[in-house]
Chains A and B, each alone.
Chain A
């Protein structure tokens, strides 16, 4: 239990997907301008990361590893994730329209999001079992959400600022991201401190 909690907190704080691992930068820069879209996108990412892990884990252990086909991981995972997202979209549209209204618009975007494929591959690289993989994926998604929400706040403050012309737009956004990322560097060792 302690080990799982440690994986969860590490995924959120010290190994934050956006701010420490640079995965999922496109949505981080693209849809973080407003708080409500940032939250919607993040919830959709948590959801897809969870089900992608739940589906790819048995495929990997039961099929690819069993028959020594590990080299097919990249192709199989991206196809499974793409098909899964489409499938979930159809199911949600048909049976839970209210959830589809909230998350549906973000789903096609997430198919080619490197964070989702990244978390699946990292789970395998780290040699996690099923429970650890699920916890790590959800934690990575929550970390994504924390970074998105924090950065949406920072960007709202940037709106009214007088910025040098050359830095206007993307450069100042990246430098602001750098400062947010510095704050996450401060979490190094915190998780070990709490649980260790």
Chain B
């Protein structure tokens, strides 16, 4: 029973409390790039979640076999294999999503969430725990993407879940663009690059506010400390280079 409870906890922590995008500040590139439309966000979220779950399972199953010196290259190979599998599936069955995500689909390989979870969790924990960790983190990533994309699509384009053929085929849902009637002029800039940064900043501020109410520290820009490569990175040791070093000193003063 206790085992079950802790597995549940591994799952739920990724959704809100340790949301990879809004709390751990990982995977910012795909979040900004893909959140133009909700359908893209959902597609990207599902693809990344599948890769994350599979790579977490394999890496945690192999954690006693992989020598710690070569673990990062080994993790990258595992992740890249699953990304290729997902990429082929998407190309074959949802070509519209493939062209919408473009280069960001293969770039799931270098998504810091996946390598970060492999390094921080799957390499140290059991297969079952890693599965739930991957599922929770993946859904947390999807959730953050959907929140961002909803804001950008509704305000920026005046539509919601618009324009993907597979959704129409599956659910007979052809997209909703009724917001165009309410907003006389959609704020087009929100669907462009500056809007991505802006909406992300605002959502992050809201998440920090909520976290503060619950008595947690706001998500901080920890410089390279968030990066999964931090352990092998010599920047951290250099006094003058890394942001977080200086912040720590500042806090001490």
Q: Which residues of A contact B (CB under 8 A)?
A: 19-26, 29-31, 33-34, 36-37, 71-75, 78-79, 82, 104-106, 108-109, 111-114, 117-118, 121-122, 125, 166-175, 177-179, 181-182, 184-185
Q: Which residues of B contact A (CB under 8 A)?
A: 25, 28-30, 32-33, 73, 76-77, 80-81, 83-84, 87-88, 102-103, 106-107, 109-112, 115, 189, 192-198, 200-202, 204-206, 208-209, 212, 218-221, 223-224, 226-229, 232-235, 238, 240-243, 246
**Total residue contacts A-B, CB cutoff 8 A:** 168
Give the top 6 A-B pairs by smallest Cβ distance, nearest first.
A174-B201, A178-B197, A171-B205, A178-B198, A22-B33, A175-B201
Q: Is the interface of A mostly helix, strand, loop or mixed?
A: helix
Nearest Cβ in chain A — how far from B113, in angstroms? 11
Nearest Cβ in chain A — how far from B247, in angstroms? 9
Q: Is the interface of B mostly helix, strand, loop or mixed?
A: helix
User: Given A114-B107, A169-B220, A185 and B193 touching (CB < 8 A)?
Assistant: yes
User: A33, A74, A104, A112: which contacts B229 (Cβ < 8 A)?
Assistant: A112
Q: Which residues of A contact B192 (CB under 8 A)?
A: 185
User: Given A31-B235, A108-B229, A117-B109, A178 and B195 touching (CB < 8 A)?
Assistant: yes
Q: Which residues of B contact A171 (CB under 8 A)?
A: 201-202, 204-205, 208
User: Given A21-B33, A78-B76, A173 and B221 touching (CB < 8 A)?
Assistant: yes
Give A6 to B198 CA distance when docked, in angstroms.
Answer: 30
Can you name 28 A-B residue pairings with CB atoms under 8 Å?
A21-B33, A22-B28, A22-B193, A22-B196, A24-B29, A30-B221, A30-B243, A37-B235, A37-B241, A71-B84, A74-B80, A74-B83, A74-B84, A82-B76, A105-B234, A105-B241, A109-B229, A109-B233, A114-B29, A117-B106, A166-B205, A166-B209, A170-B25, A170-B208, A172-B201, A182-B189, A184-B193, A185-B194
